[in-house]
C-alpha cells in the first residue's frame, strides 16, 4: 500500500449524486484511466455498555475494506486502533453484553476502481440506510509510503479531475513526526474514511435516494 488520500467531493450544481459520480468517471476515462473493478468500505458503530454513571458512552467502529478482505479494523473513538481477523464480527456478537450495535448507523461506500499509471483512484457513493450522503474519492500513489515525499505530486494529479475540490494534506499525515520514517499504512486510510463517514452522517443531500 502506498500513500492514500480520501476526500469528499461536493455534488455538482444542478446534478444528483449519481450524475456527479458519472461526471468524475468520464473525466478519469478521458485522462486515460482504466477501470479495474469495484470496491467497498463499510463501517458499523458500537456503543460501549456498562460505563461509569454520568460518563458518555465510548464508541467503537468496526470497518471493512474490500482491498483487505481477510482482515478488518476496530477503531475506538479517540484511539487506539486494532487490525483484526475478518472473523472479528463474530466476536462482536459474543461481546454484545459489552458493546451494543447502533442499529441504522451502518455506513457504506461503494464504487469503481480506476488505474492511471502509478495512481489508484476510487470514486464511491457513501450511503446510510439506502440514502446517499455524499461522494468520496480515494487516490493512492502506489510507489511511495512517505506522505511528505509525494504529496505535491498527488495534489497536482488530483487537480486534473477534481479542480477546486482538491483537499489539503490529511490530518492523519500532518500528525506524523517530521524527520522520522513514518510510512503510511492501511490504518491511515481507514481513519480518513471514518472521518468522512462521521461528517456525512449528519448531512442530507437533495436527490440522494439510491435506486
Tens digit of pLDDT for each residue in 54-106? 566 788 999 999 999 999 999 988 778 889 888 888 888 888 888 888 877 89
Note down the domain range covering 186: 3-202
Number of domains present in the structure of the chain = 1
Domain assignment present for 166: yes
pLDDT digits (tens, 9 = 90+) for 98-145: 888 887 789 999 999 999 999 999 999 999 988 889 999 999 999 998
Domain assignment present for 34: yes
Mean pLDDT over each residue of the chain, to the nearest integer: 87
DSSP helix/strand/coil, 97: coil
Under 8 Å between Cβ of 2 and 142: yes
- State residue 187's pLDDT score: 87
CATH classification at residue 24 = 2.40.320.10
Domain assignment present for 209: no
Q: Which helix (H) or strand (E) holds 199?
A: helix 186-200
Cis check for the bond before 196: say yes or no (omega within 30 of 0).
no
Domain assignment present for 40: yes
Domain assignment present for 211: no
Buried b (16+ CB within 10 A) or exposed e, 138-148: bbbbeebbebe
Q: Select, from the ranges 63-67, 166-170, 205-209, the one with the highest average predicted confidence (pLDDT).
A: 63-67
**The model's pTM:** 0.88
- State residue 147's pLDDT score: 87
Helices vs. strands in the chain: H and E counts, helices first: 5, 9
Domain assignment present for 208: no
Amino acid at each position: 500500500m502506498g500513500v492514500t488520500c480520501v476526500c469528499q467531493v461536493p455534488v455538482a450544481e444542478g446534478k444528483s449524486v449519481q450524475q456527479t459520480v458519472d461526471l468524475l468517471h468520464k473525466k478519469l476515462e478521458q485522462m486515460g484511466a482504466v477501470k479495474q473493478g469495484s470496491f467497498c468500505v463499510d463501517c458499523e458503530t458500537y456503543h460501549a455498555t456498562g460505563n461509569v454513571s454520568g460518563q458518555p458512552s465510548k464508541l467503537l467502529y468496526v470497518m471493512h475494506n474490500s482491498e483487505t478482505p481477510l482482515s478488518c479494523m476496530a477503531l475506538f473513538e479517540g484511539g487506539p486502533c486494532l487490525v483484526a481477523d475478518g472473523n472479528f464480527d463474530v466476536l462482536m456478537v459474543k461481546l454484545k453484553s459489552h458493546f451494543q450495535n447502533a442499529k441504522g448507523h451502518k455506513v457504506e461506500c461503494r464504487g469503481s476502481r480506476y488505474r492511471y499509471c502509478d495512481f489508484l483512484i476510487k470514486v464511491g457513493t457513501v450511503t446510510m440506510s439506502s440514502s446517499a450522503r455524499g461522494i468520496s474519492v480515494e487516490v493512492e500513489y502506489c510507489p511511495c509510503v512517505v506522505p511528505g515525499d509525494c504529496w505535491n505530486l498527488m495534489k497536482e494529479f488530483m487537480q486534473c479531475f477534481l479542480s477546486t475540490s482538491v483537499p489539503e494534506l490529511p490530518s492523519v499525515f500532518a500528525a506524523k513526526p517530521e524527520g522520522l520514517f513514518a510510512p503510511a499504512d492501511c490504518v491511515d486510510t481507514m481513519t480518513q474514511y471514518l472521518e468522512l463517514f462521521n461528517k456525512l452522517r449528519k448531512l442530507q443531500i437533495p436527490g440522494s435516494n439510491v435506486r
